[in-house]
Structure 1
Amino acid sequence: MRVWRDWEAGMGNLLMLHNDITPPQLHVLQVIKHDTPEPVNSVCYDAFVMTDSGEVLINTERFKLLALSMG
């Protein structure tokens, strides 16, 4: 999702974030709940990490390792 209005019920929604330390061509992906348009607030999968500010994000390196291990 680029904006909150793009959220869809029942889907795996990720909000594209960009901050001052992220290179212009890259985005950070924040995990959003599938049943309500609210951010996930707990780390429930190995590919998720929580920032100091409490945002749950996808860690691409962990995601790649999990995908490879699943075949």
Structure 2
Amino acid sequence: MTLASLAALGMPASAPLQAGGGGLLYYGIVFFVLAIVAGLAGFRGVAGLSMKVARILVVVFLVLAIVTFLL
């Protein structure tokens, strides 16, 4: 799609860049921040689980990014 056709649909010009993903990294950072806040608050179980989820999401993001760059 061209920028003109996106503007006609009412979509911002940056939509094609965001449409490809980035959700994994975003949620990885969200879970990392949640782990830090939970750790500071003393909720060690929530902090540990959040850190594990964050680590998994970031690793999946990195693997998919490397595969995408190689293809």
Question: TM-score, length-normalised on structure 1?
Answer: 0.25
Max Rg structure: 2
| Structure ranking higher on relative contact order (CA contacts 8 Å, 6+ apart) | 2
